[in-house]
Each structure stands twice: as structure tokens, then as C-alpha cells.
Structure 1
């Protein structure tokens, strides 16, 4: 394997995938959410840089071509696992996450079966859009966790009546409960909408990949 900068970025992104989950093992929240969010964003940005640099510097390699989609899928799968695991298991979150995970497993298995033929099925713009939508949705959902835990920390020592008075404007909002609550609500809604969009694009790209694979799956007459 050639240790070019694009390949190194790809490998670092691959290693960052389990790192997202490890953040929640060694840090308390909201620090775990912050570290996971920053790690995920940095890793997501390398997804664009490594491909751009490989093409610009003519350093495209077979190893990099193979590892790049694996790193993307690892980031998405691990991050979704963490988000679902720390959520209330709402069907509005679990269903699109299931669609995304199922598609990634199905297409990965299909590529393994196709072998060298899979390399002839080029990555489409639809597949790139679905990856972008997945990354943005996951980042926003991590941000929701940050808002949520700062809100909970700010209400420590308050009873529900005091919280209600502050949020209704009857008491002065000295701890910023309102903007933390608004941030939690809006990032949660936006993250879910983006995740459903990502799930739709993921499903469509999976169908498109399967359709292109059908000629190679037919038994010889």
C-alpha cells in the first residue's frame, strides 16, 4: 500500500469510526457528545479532501478506492448505532436508521459477491448525495444531544414549577433555558427530517445499484 496523504486520511477516517463510540465509554455527557460531534465532523470533511487530493495529485490507488466507501459506511453505521442506543428508541428515528443500515449491509454483500465486477459499477451522484445527507443528519443529531444535556444540567436543583415559570417568561431566564430548549427541539426536528431524506436517498441508491447488478446475477442458461 502506498502511504500517500489521501490514503492516510482515509485510514484515519476509518479509525475514527469506532472512536465515535469510544467517546461515550470514557467521557460523561455532554462532553461525549461534543467529542463525538467534533470527531465525526472532522472525519466527514476528510471524505471530501482525500478524494479531491487523490484526483488532483494523481494519487488514486486501488487500496484507497477500496477503503474509501468502507470508511464512509463504518462512520455512518457506528454513529447511527450510538445515536439510536442513546435515544428513546422513537420509531421516527429507528425506522430511517434501519433503512440506512439494511441498505449498506445489502449493498456490501452484493459487492462482495460481484467481486471484480463491482468495480465496473461506478459511484453515481445519487450515492454521493445520500452519503452527504447521512453525514449532515448525523452531525445535527449529535448536536441535539449537546443541547439536551446542557439543558438538563442547567435545570439541576430546580423543580418543574420553576422550570415552567422560566420557560413561560414569568421568571427571568438566567441560565439560558429557552435557547437551549429551542436548540434541542430544532436540531432534533431538523436531524430527523434530514435522516428521513438520507434514508430515502439511501434506498433509491440501493435500488439503483441492485438494478445495475441484475445482469451479473442471472444464471447461465
Structure 2
């Protein structure tokens, strides 16, 4: 169960977090680029583990459990370090707060809905949110070390605000679903709704 490829890819996303955090304590452009490379590679495993799990039919409860946790830990660690080292500051901190609060809200709702055997399918908008969010964080990790001809920080900042806006929309979808099942007299479904396979992520 631990040793199939999708689970190893998911675990690698968690293992890279301490190394990503460590890059912030080194000076020089190489550290910023190293952080971006590590984060980008980890983000790509998020797609790859789901692809492999579906292709090789290696679905597992461990994968379903760890995959969203790994994603949220990676994003939270990157955003926290960017704010701590003032590479995300001013009003843009609010975008980071919105994203992190939404992740906590969704985690709680997903746990509650899982207890009711209710699955929430991944929307196309949620996939766009994830893609924009990961891209924006990658740009912000490079930051001022980026090439002079490219407004790296501005691109990352705009992307982070865009991800925060989509975060509110997709977060509302989860909240609406959760509240519907919290209403008095609401009946749990007779059969579980279709869920995403092992590494099918609901963002």
C-alpha cells in the first residue's frame, strides 16, 4: 500500500517541504530558483500521481487520505514562508489568508461530507484555481531574483489575487453543499455519490 508509485509521489510532496523551507534561509538568486524548482516539481507530482493511479488502477484509501493533505501542506508552507520573509506583503497578504482559510474550510467540510458518504466532484473552475495558484506561488518564489525584463513579482501577485478570487467561488460551492446536508430534516443519501479515484483531488 505504501510502496505503490502514486503513494510514493504523494509522500515525496510532503518530504520536499522541509527542503523548500530551508531555501529561504540561504541568500542568493540560486536559493530562490531552487525553491521554485522544488515547488514546481512537487506540484507536478500532484497531477502525476492521479494520472498513474488511474492508468494503473492503483487506488487506495491511503492515497485518498494523503493526497489532499500533501497539497494543502505544500501550499500552506510556501505561502507562510513568503509572508514571513516579506516576499508577499501589504494587501497581498490578504490573498494568502483567503486561500489558507478556504483550504481549512474545505478540509473540514470534506471530512463532514465523507462521514455522510457524500462526494463532491472536482469542478473545472477548481482545477483552474489550482493551476493559477501554483503558477503564482512559483513566480513569487523566484521573486526579485527573476530576470529584469520580466515582471516576475507582479505576475505572481496578480496570479495570487486571481487564485484568491476563484478560491472564494469554489469554496462557496463546498459550503453550499455542506449547509444543504446540515439543514434540519436533511436525509443522508441512500448510496454514496460518485467519488474521485485515489488521487482525484477536490480543490
Call closer, same or farther: CA 1:39–1:28 in 2, change over 3 Å: same
Aligned to 2:192: none
Gaps of 5+ in 2: 187-203
More helix by share: 1
> In the TM superposition, what whole-angstrom CA distance separates every residue of 1:153-187 from its partner, at most 9, and x where no partner exists?
xxxxxxxxxxxxxxxxxxxxxxxxxxx4433xx11
Q: Given the alignment of the two structures, is residue 182 of structure 1 paired with residue 181 of structure 2, yes or no?
A: no
Call closer, same or farther: CA 1:118–1:22 in 2, change over 3 Å: farther
- Give yes or no for contact 2:132–2:162 (8 Å, CA) kept in 1: yes
Task: Quote the Cα distance in structure 2 between the aligned partners of 1:88 and 1:8.
Answer: 31
Aligned to 1:3: 3
Structure (1 or 2) with the larger CA radius of gyration: 1
Task: Quote the Cα distance in structure 1 between the aligned partners of 2:18 and 2:176.
Answer: 32
Aligned to 1:144: 143
Q: Report the number of matched residues.
A: 186
* Deviation of 1:28 (Å): 2.7
Task: Quote the Cα distance in structure 2 between the aligned partners of 1:192 and 1:118.
Answer: 38
- Give yes or no for contact 2:133–2:159 (8 Å, CA) kept in 1: yes
- Give yes or no for contact 2:35–2:142 (8 Å, CA) kept in 1: no
Gaps of 5+ in 1: 148-179
TM-score by length of 1: 0.76
> In the TM superposition, what whole-angstrom CA distance separates every residue of 1:33-53 from its partner, at most 9, and x where no partner exists?
122111101101111111111
* 1:40-189 aligned within 5 A: 40-87=39-86, 90-117=89-116, 120-147=119-146, 180-183=147-150, 186-189=151-154
Aligned to 2:116, what secondary structure does the other structure show? helix
Q: Given the alignment of the two structures, is residue 17 of structure 1 paired with residue 14 of structure 2, yes or no?
A: no
> In the TM superposition, what whole-angstrom CA distance separates every residue of 1:59-116 from its partner, at most 9, and x where no partner exists?
1212112211111111111111111112266333211111101101111122233343
Task: Quote the Cα distance in structure 1 between the aligned partners of 2:115 and 2:88.
Answer: 39
Q: Tell which has more relative contact order, 1 or 2 (C-alpha 8 A, sep 6+).
A: 2
- Give yes or no for contact 2:82–2:88 (8 Å, CA) kept in 1: no
TM-score by length of 2: 0.83
* Deviation of 1:119 (Å): 5.2
Call closer, same or farther: CA 1:76–1:119 in 2, change over 3 Å: farther
Call closer, same or farther: CA 1:92–1:218 in 2, change over 3 Å: same
